[in-house]
Structure 1
Amino acid sequence: MEKSRKKFINVIDEAVVAAKRMDRDEQLFSYKGILYPTTFCSPEVFRAMESFEARSDDIILAGYPKSGTNWVGQILSDLVAIFEEKTQNKESSVNDEFPYLEVGDTEKYERMNKLPSPRLMVTHLRPENLPSSIFKNKSKILLLIRNPKDVATSFYHFSNAFSPLPSYETWDDFFVAFMTKKMPWGCYFEYISSWNKYADDENVMPITYEDLKENPVLCVKNIAAFFGISLTEKELQGVVERSSFQSMKKNSQKTHGSFGNIFFRKGGISDWKSLFSEDHNERMDKAFEERIGGTKLGTKLKYEVYCKA
């Protein structure tokens, strides 16, 4: 675990240093019509990733940026560690590589092929841009979604605090970019729409940030069951406690280096009310209804509960 934490921090620190040498318009590049951060991704890596061979026992977490992937990634890392200690009597080695599938170098996937199972991977990619072997081999995917207003609010604060991503002078500037498909990893609504095609697959488990926040014990129990990991009541409580926002923020310097406070800012629900005007609300409500309202994932987000003023 210590090795993986150092790897995570090193990748972040290197991206920050690289970003300081870039102009704003150099911070993003387009690949297959979607924008990505230059300091983390590259076309060469995306091409190398296409031949990556997934396994049926891989553990994959998919989520749009700022949907809670760092949080749920901690939960999954903890579950894998418990599983390996129980079944293989060893410390987890699953995260020797930087956990985000699309971030790294072109040799990353060859190294990952040598890692023991189960391998834990996190991704912000849409399904059509993931290696086809993930679906062919029926790897299990935990699909994390979060209401768009809180995603936009969190993304705004994160972009302005994290130098590898373009910053914005005003919330209005950011909101326009968010609503006009100019975000790193693409458009939120297109992301949800793409994943909605897989929402009923037996190897895909959709879960919402809000449900996990409201009932962490039940959600962690369901996640463990989905991946075939048995937990005692004590182990379950331990995972929930270690993945609480307070606990993760307290340990953030150790897990995420000097940017810990940026990755774990508030971790709440309805922070969007601090930024959204009546006009912003109307535009977001209209886009949600037109793009994903009535779909399985759109319904699961409980928009009327979490996104209405």
Structure 2
Amino acid sequence: PEMDAIPRPELFDFNGISMIKVFTANWENIQNFQARPDDILIATYPKAGTTWVSNILDLLYFGQREKAIPIYERVPFMEISLAGFDSGTDFLDKLPTSPRLIKTHLPVQFVPKSFWEQKSRIVYIARNAKDNVVSYFHFDRMNKGHPEPGDWSSYLQRFKQGKMVFGSWYDHVNNWWKKKQTYSSLHYMFFEDMVEDTGREIDKLCSFLGLTPSVEEKTRIVGEVHFDKMKNDEMANYSKIPVFDFKVSPFMRKGKVGDWKNHFTVAQNEEFDEDYKTKMNEPTLQFRTEI
């Protein structure tokens, strides 16, 4: 069917988090998912650098493997469940690689408990709220599988209220940050640090994972995961997904820090900052909106 013929889904409240059916339909299997000690869970709020870090991890572990497999098959999306396709958990159960690289956007309280029990390693990537909402807005415009975004100003209001697929950005980044204080196998990264110095952040990631790539290998990976290179790589850029309308916006749009300045009005920015202060009261969690 033509994309426009498929109605966009409605948001609904799911245990206190705004969700859509494709991420809750397989809930029992998600909650009962059997994690393994060597699994690596890549967790993010949507549009915070998930594909970037997935690619880096895939290259670190499986650098030499067949490149003709799309990233979403190499790093399955755990909670997705589309009629007529394998669910994320089915895909993971069949994944032959070890370690398994697993993508999720779940808030920390929804993560299957076996990940904590098995002490699986988790890499969380956070991106500043202003760039994150801009990126999510353009994504929701082109992703017919998500609710209709509406115009920018109403979208911005909804973002503040947490009425987004996967809920509130504020709760997501804060609660994952809190988890880090009690769960040592969690590496918390910032998108802005990655843009500023990808090599440095890969070094930190390797030390967390106990990997020791050679200088040559690391240099090669930094080159491979350059934004423009991934944006033009059909195996990384999601261009084969039918619900994504690239005529509206590419899946990988800019990958920049500070693009929010091209979207927020002065008034919107002031209101956003005031609201932000009320929701972000964890002094140890600090974001940069420019670098």
TM, length-normalised to structure 2 = 0.85
Answer yes or no: is 1:21 the counterpart of 2:10.
Answer: no
* Correspondence for 1:130: 111
Counterparts of 1:1-309 in structure 2, within 5 Å, are 17=3, 20-22=5-7, 24=8, 26-38=9-21, 40-43=22-25, 45-82=26-63, 96=73, 99-104=76-81, 108-109=88-89, 112-113=92-93, 115=95, 116-200=97-181, 201-252=183-234, 255-258=237-240, 259=244, 262-296=250-284, 298-299=285-286, 301-302=287-288
2:277 is paired with a residue whose SS is helix
AA of the residue aligned to 1:79: L
CA distance in 2, matches of 1:117, 1:96: 14
Q: Residues 195, 118 of structure 1: CA spacing in aligned structure 2 closer, same or farther, 3 A cutoff?
A: same
C-alpha separation in 2, matches of 1:103 and 1:197? 26
2:193 maps to a residue whose letter is: D
* Structure 1 residues 197 and 254: CA distance shift in structure 2, 3 A: closer
Q: Tell me how far apart the structure 2 counterparts of residues 157 and 77 of structure 1 sit (CA, whole Å).
A: 26
CA RMSD of aligned residues (A): 2.7
Query: Structure 1 pair 202/98, CA: closer, same or farther in 2 (3 Å)?
Result: closer
Contact 2:77/2:103, CA 8 A, preserved across alignment: yes
Instruction: State the 1:117 CA deviation.
Output: 2.1
Deviations 1:102-133 (A, max 9, x none): 11368653553454420000111111101011
Are 1:97 and 1:112, in contact at CA under 8 Å, matched by a contact in 2? no
| Gaps in structure 1 of 5+ consecutive residues | 1-13
Q: Is the 8 A contact 1:59 1:140 kept in 2?
A: yes
**Sequence identity percentage:** 27
3-state secondary structure, aligned to 1:152: helix
Post-superposition shift, 1:253? 6.8
Contact 1:64 1:125 in 2 (8 A): yes
Give SS of 2:199's match: helix
| 2:123–2:188 Cα contact (<8 Å) kept | yes
Task: Encode CA deviations 1:56-80: one digit per residue, 9 max, x unaligned.
Answer: 2111111101111111111111112
- In structure 2, relative to structure 1, the CA distance for the partners of 1:97 and 1:233 (3 Å cut) is closer
Closer/same/farther in 2, CA of residues 168 and 104 from structure 1, 3 Å limit: closer
Q: Which region of structure 1 is more displaced relative to structure 2, 139-148 or 270-279? A: 270-279
Q: Is the 8 A contact 1:216 1:240 kept in 2?
A: yes
CA contact 1:28–1:37 (8 Å) conserved in 2? yes
Question: What one-letter code is carried by the residue in structure 1 that aligns with 2:123?
Answer: L
Which deviates further from its counterpart, 133-142 or 167-176?
167-176
- 1:169-200 deviation digits (Å, cap 9, x = unpaired): 42111111111121011010111121122123
Report the residue type matching 1:109 in the other structure: T
Q: C-alpha separation between the residues in 2 aligned to 1:255 and 1:246?
A: 10
Q: Retained in 2: the 8 A contact 1:156–1:171? A: yes
Distance 1:203 1:42, change over 3 A: same
For structure 2, the residue ranges without an aligned partner over 5 or more in a row are none
